[in-house]
Structure 1
Amino acid sequence: MAVAEGTTPIDPTALRDALDVANIPTLVPLLFQLTGDPKWTRDPYRPTRPRGTDDHDDAGLPADVRDEIRAAVAEAVLAWAAGRPVARPAPTGRELLDLLTLSVGEEVPEEYEPMTAEHMGFRAKCPPTVATPGSADFHVLVIGAGVSGLTAAKHLRDLGISHTVVEKNPRVGGTWIENRYPGCGVDTPSYLYSLSFFPRAWTHHFGKRGELETYLDELATHFGLLDSIRFGTTAVSAAWDDDTERWTVVVRDPQGRERTLTANALISAVGQLNVPKIPDLPGLADFHGPVFHSARWPEDLDLRGRTVAVIGTGASAMQIVPAVAGEVAALDVYQRSPQWVSPNKNYFRPVGDKVHWLMENVPYYRAWYRFRLAWAHNDRVHASLQKDPDWPHPERSLNATNDGHRRFFTRYILDQLDGRPDLVEKALPDYPPFGKRMLLDNGWFAALRRPGVELITASVTALTRTGVVTSTGEERPADIVVLATGFEAHRPIRYDIVGRGGQVLRDLWGEDDARAYLGITTPGFPNLFFMYGPNTNLGHGGSFIFLAESQIDYITDSLCRMVNEDISSIECRPEVGERYNEALDQAHQRMVWTHQGMDTWYRNSKGRVVTNMPWRVVDYWTMTRAVDLDDFVVRHRPAAAGQAPGA
């Protein structure tokens, strides 16, 4: 983060007012940066370790110490604005690690230093470059204009690489325009669920769907990405031509006509969670009222006075139920298995103008605040998700730390459902915390306690014309049925892809066993790159946007090497892909998602985890920093007469 010296006048009153609401653990390291005074890194100014993922705004420090820190920051910022240079503008190495540890109140391992220094702007990032931007004989086709596709388009545009994006919807946004159900929003903090190169003054700490849609629309407009996108255009098939070493892609335009596009490289950015999973229920077509998947919520649906059945209690249902419980006449919630739920007092909390002021005017505030969110929500719990073979209570937890998590979350559920032992019996999970996707409490337990809301643990076996039939044989009336039943995460790519020698990707992967090196590339399919591909879902926490940036760094490095070195194709070596997936499977065998009795959408029909990544975020960032062409079969373009290859 480059900080200019004394270029913007700062109103002292506005500064002091804003500091009243500042996050103290964010202020302490930037105070050292501004002043260079080591006293701010020592007691009594060191923040304590926070509990859970709380912002820990007061740092666990006494009021008089917090006031002293605020006053010192005000003095330092005003001096900086008046022209005093920053004492430590780019801490790296041991100094940065000490500041990271200071800010979060616990030891930050050494392997986080390179990643954090780069993402905080303290060490320059060396992005790939193209020797001759705008080369007419190298073109990239991107399928999808959600988070991943827009990230790809922005980087390709910056590099001057010719590209086209095809998007089936009429505008950008991906999942945030397709999922429009009540309460829809992100369960990752807004300041973390945002691209590093496009900050925003978020209105809430956890953004709702509408603001996320706006954010992506503004991203596309700001960087001039719209002119490269063909909207209302669906990919039908893609085939690799061994002779021309190009992809031929058949697309269907808004008028239903099929057209052919060609490209040197293909980036599939369709994601894992884009195809609704519809249960095969008898009577589904006969139901008399609206019945739909949560990702296809009707725009004009009126719930007032209706009896609504929500089938499922996963992430979407967790948001829908509290949002509609006060509007409907009656609400039946059909639960296959209960969920562990984490409290977060920021879930509905708005981000005030004073916080926006701090982000825009106090040097390093945004960088340090974002780092703290990343530390709390990314890798912090990863070690606790490893099985301890000597742990005596595998029926309830994985290890001592995980057992502590269980006690904490159990106490929270018991507190929220106090006086309702019937709900406790239904809502308390019998598997280890994090065994399924950890959800945030957005009023879920309060909604379950409302009159007219019924949590039903019997499975749904059929629909009739007027209601829902359960495994007990009971038929319960319903006017509207919402299928909150998840997505076809094991088969997210619905267009045919044919690789070298006629190999069909669908045949290679089967119905539910997708595999890719780094989740990005697959042997037999040259110049084909996936974003949010197999085993890149973050099951232990964190923001996929961070992974999307890591993936596009790897992909663009590959593309730049191809352009600069006259490479016509790169294809992952089979042995490289096999070694990677063997290591991935072995890592998963040590993790919670393969724990005894676990059955989630993370696993395929054979029990293999095919969606989630077993690595830490820092591990994946390290793996994807740059392409190693030794991992690939590399083919060069034929040299022109009298010209050496690569010249």
Structure 2
Amino acid sequence: MATTLTGGSQHIVELPSTPSRSDAEPRAVAQQWLTNLESQLGHPETLSLAELFHPESWWRDMLALDWELHTKHSASQIQEFLRKHQGRAQLSKFRLQDKGKFQPRLEQVVDGLSWVSAMFFFETAVGCGTGMLRLTQADGSGPWKAYAMYTSLQELKGVEEPLGKRRRAGTTEPMPGGVAGETWIERRRRQAEFLDEEPATLVVGSGQAGLNVGARLQSLGVSCLIVDKNERVGDNWRNRYRTLVTHDPAEFTHMAYLPFPQNWPQFTPKDKLGDWFEAYASLMELNVWTRTSVVSAEYNDTAGDWTVIVARGDGSRRTLRPRHVVWCTGHSGEALIPSFQGQESFQGTVYHGSQHRDASETDVRGKKVVVVGTGNSGHDIAQNFYENGADVTMLQRRGTYVLTANKGVFMLHDGLHEDGGPPTEECDIVSESLPWPIQLALSVHLTRRIATADKETLDGLRRAGFQLDFGPDGAGIARAYFTRGGGYYIDVGCSQLIIDGKIKVKHSPRGISRFGPHELVLAEGETLDADIVVLATGYDNMRTTVRKVLGDKVADRCKDVWDLDEEGELNAMWRPSGHPGFWFMGGNLALCRIYSKFLALQIKALEEGLISQS
């Protein structure tokens, strides 16, 4: 049995073939394998994994073995990784899950591939963790060996979060000063203004990234100040175009510690989500300064802290000295705005999609509108103009992946984040437990099934001249999101308008050559008449925002953000950025919920002296 890499840096993986088994006893198989692994880990200097791992196997580790996010591929790499880190980490006390869906079971994953999977728990020298194993056989009678292994640190010993039975009392007596001291509201007012201390962490941005990581940090006892330039928490959603709703379902998009109510809509309107963010900040007791911007930030390598000057809405300035800065300005925060020859002579209106509010704000009936770009925003904006009477053309340079919100999206979450499914915390473990190259390979099979379900829509788009792109390996939305951060559309109605010819599509591989007074001239020589041009051309790297706000000195030490690195982990996101004391946090609501835990644990470990700042 082997896993073949066929795509170089694209991490295109050919999944192995395994024999079909129905007589395996999953718990006995998993328990024996874990027992053998623990025995080997007890002697890391003589560790030998040949009997436990296939030659082409995988291990994804989130902070359990090393204070980083790693994916190791091949038994030899895994063995070297364990020999290097197990002496310090001391993974031990493995225990299989004994309840719920993720007990040991034999799974038929895709045609030709089955494995014994199981959730398990373990301890390390500094904490406790949760993992997943996937065991396969090379033939029908050979030993069960690991194809994929996952370990994730979930809490630190001695500084556990006050959750459940460990929750704080909340009465006056245990508060500092007891009955004679401050009440909860009096204490909160002083905390929120940081009158008595400096925040250990400054979080820039109060969207889903900032709020999730702020809640995680405060639960771990790390003081945290969140600043946001907007008037209110949630304005990062409220200020976007009028018709925006989330494209991910409710069960997938919960915030840390506080799931949406059972009667919450499946897809959340932007203003409702903004109000939820505002309520979340209050309920989680987050310290948020709105109408506040970062003026400057200087890092002291010797002291290991920052000097940050912020300007507040009342005109005052405050100098802060946090040890950590978490940059949460949005993976889609800095607009990527191209410019074109002759654009200054264009007598119509040109703006970036991030500036779109609603087509009804002016009379656009009969106006010729060209939307440049065919991702989510481009489709939503085109639909908005059409519904207000405009003559709309979408300009498409390259293909776009399309799936429907009513069919395809729910197939993405089948068996995990869905109504009546397992607990969110367990689903989060399982959904992130496979290395991304394997997830992409499995997505090829899922994308085919989604395409079958969405066949009527996809065929109609092809007939209308809309170019579809399923990725170089056919992995669909997974590859588009994790490598490009875009290039897909979750259809909420615009596709049918394209199919019916109500919204036109012009395919131009080389795009716009120049602007004329009333038209766009395409590279192929054709022209498109236009009164309004909306550049739905996406967003720049988060590092660009850092350079714009904090300057070259900070940005030059940071890595570019997003896309998969050589190991198959996301560059610089939720992990060391390249600059000491500086972190990038972003992604959709689900990823922010999941990875805020790992980022917060890294900061807490630094605060506790478990790792050194670098």
Q: Counterpart of 1:190? A: 250
Q: Counterpart of 2:368? A: 307
Pick from 489, 493, 498 the counterpart of residue 448 of structure 1.
498
Q: Deviations over 1:280-316 (max 9, x none)?
A: 2224344334322222224635544432211101122
Residues 1:554 and 2:554 aligned together: no
Q: Deviations over 1:324-359 (max 9, x none)?
A: 43333311101111222223426899xxxxxxxxx9
How far did residue 104 of structure 1 move?
11
How far did residue 98 of structure 1 move?
5.1
CA distance in 2, matches of 1:274, 1:448: 28
Are residues 116 and 236 of structure 1, via their aligned partners in 2, closer, same or farther at CA, if it must alter by over 3 Å?
A: same
Q: Deviations over 1:453-484 (max 9, x none)?
A: 21111222233332322122233222222111
Q: Deviations over 1:2-27 (max 9, x none)?
A: xxxxxxxxxxxxxxxxxxxxxxxxxx
Report if aligned partners of 1:192, 1:374 keep a CA contact under 8 Å in 2. no
Residues 1:436 and 2:480 aligned together: yes
Q: Counterpart of 1:602? A: none
CA distance in 2, matches of 1:190, 1:382: 24
**What TM-score comes out, normalization by structure 1 length?**
0.56
CA distance in 2, matches of 1:379, 1:443: 34
- One-letter amino acid matched to 2:575: I
Residues 1:521 and 2:610 aligned together: no
Are residues 253 and 96 of structure 1, via their aligned partners in 2, closer, same or farther at CA, if it must alter by over 3 Å?
A: same
How far did residue 209 of structure 1 move?
1.7
Report if aligned partners of 1:287, 1:465 keep a CA contact under 8 Å in 2. yes
CA distance in 1, matches of 2:607, 2:331: 27
Are residues 287 and 269 of structure 1, via their aligned partners in 2, closer, same or farther at CA, if it must alter by over 3 Å?
A: same
Report if aligned partners of 1:154, 1:223 keep a CA contact under 8 Å in 2. yes
How far did residue 239 of structure 1 move?
0.9
The residue matched to 1:168 in structure 2 has which SS? Answer: coil
Pick from 206, 221, 225 the counterpart of residue 282 of structure 2.
221
The residue matched to 1:141 in structure 2 has which SS? Answer: strand
CA distance in 1, matches of 2:198, 2:390: 62
Superposed, 1:290-305 pairs within 5 Å as: 290-298=349-357, 300-305=361-366
Report if aligned partners of 1:273, 1:492 keep a CA contact under 8 Å in 2. no
Are residues 450 and 544 of structure 1, via their aligned partners in 2, closer, same or farther at CA, if it must alter by over 3 Å?
A: same
Superposed, 1:141-160 pairs within 5 Å as: 141-160=202-221
Unpaired runs of 5+ residues, structure 2, are: 1-94, 122-128, 133-152, 163-174, 177-190, 411-416, 482-487, 566-570
Are residues 130 and 373 of structure 1, via their aligned partners in 2, closer, same or farther at CA, if it must alter by over 3 Å?
A: closer
Greater fraction strand: 2
CA distance in 2, matches of 1:529, 1:468: 41
Report if aligned partners of 1:103, 1:372 keep a CA contact under 8 Å in 2. no
Residues 1:233 and 2:288 aligned together: no
Superposed, 1:229-628 pairs within 5 Å as: 229-242=288-301, 244-254=303-313, 259-298=318-357, 300-345=361-406, 368=422, 370=424, 404=445, 407-408=448-449, 411=452, 415-416=456-457, 418=459, 422-424=463-465, 426-427=467-468, 431-433=472-474, 434=476, 435-437=479-481, 438-458=488-508, 459-489=511-541, 491-495=543-547, 504-509=553-558, 519-523=574-578, 525-532=579-586, 543-558=590-605, 560-562=607-609
Are residues 492 and 173 of structure 1, via their aligned partners in 2, closer, same or farther at CA, if it must alter by over 3 Å?
A: farther
Report if aligned partners of 1:334, 1:456 keep a CA contact under 8 Å in 2. yes
The residue matched to 1:199 in structure 2 has which SS? Answer: coil
Are residues 231 and 323 of structure 1, via their aligned partners in 2, closer, same or farther at CA, if it must alter by over 3 Å?
A: same
How far did residue 549 of structure 1 move?
2.8
Report if aligned partners of 2:215, 2:256 keep a CA contact under 8 Å in 1. no
How far did residue 215 of structure 1 move?
1.6
Report if aligned partners of 1:529, 1:555 keep a CA contact under 8 Å in 2. no
How far did residue 496 of structure 1 move?
6.8
The residue matched to 1:191 in structure 2 has which SS? Answer: helix
Are residues 559 and 229 of structure 1, via their aligned partners in 2, closer, same or farther at CA, if it must alter by over 3 Å?
A: farther
Q: Deviations over 1:132-179 (max 9, x none)?
A: 998836633221111121223333444554432221111223642343
How far did residue 491 of structure 1 move?
2.7
**RMSD of the TM alignment (CA)?**
4.5
Report if aligned partners of 2:350, 2:535 keep a CA contact under 8 Å in 1. yes
Report if aligned partners of 2:373, 2:395 keep a CA contact under 8 Å in 1. yes
Report if aligned partners of 1:321, 1:447 keep a CA contact under 8 Å in 2. no
The residue matched to 1:325 in structure 2 has which SS? Answer: helix
The residue matched to 1:476 in structure 2 has which SS? Answer: strand
Provide the identity percentage. 20
Q: Deviations over 1:395-439 (max 9, x none)?
A: xxxxxx666556545556652265776425634667432242454
Report if aligned partners of 1:250, 1:260 keep a CA contact under 8 Å in 2. yes
How far did residue 317 of structure 1 move?
1.7
Report if aligned partners of 1:143, 1:167 keep a CA contact under 8 Å in 2. yes
- One-letter amino acid matched to 1:308: V
**What TM-score comes out, normalization by structure 2 length?**
0.59
CA distance in 1, matches of 2:367, 2:402: 28
Unpaired runs of 5+ residues, structure 1, are: 1-90, 350-358, 388-400, 563-627, 635-647
Superposed, 1:158-173 pairs within 5 Å as: 158-173=219-234
CA distance in 2, matches of 1:296, 1:185: 17
CA distance in 2, matches of 1:439, 1:113: 36
CA distance in 1, matches of 2:330, 2:201: 18
Are residues 98 and 194 of structure 1, via their aligned partners in 2, closer, same or farther at CA, if it must alter by over 3 Å?
A: closer
The residue matched to 1:508 in structure 2 has which SS? Answer: coil
Report if aligned partners of 2:213, 2:600 keep a CA contact under 8 Å in 1. no
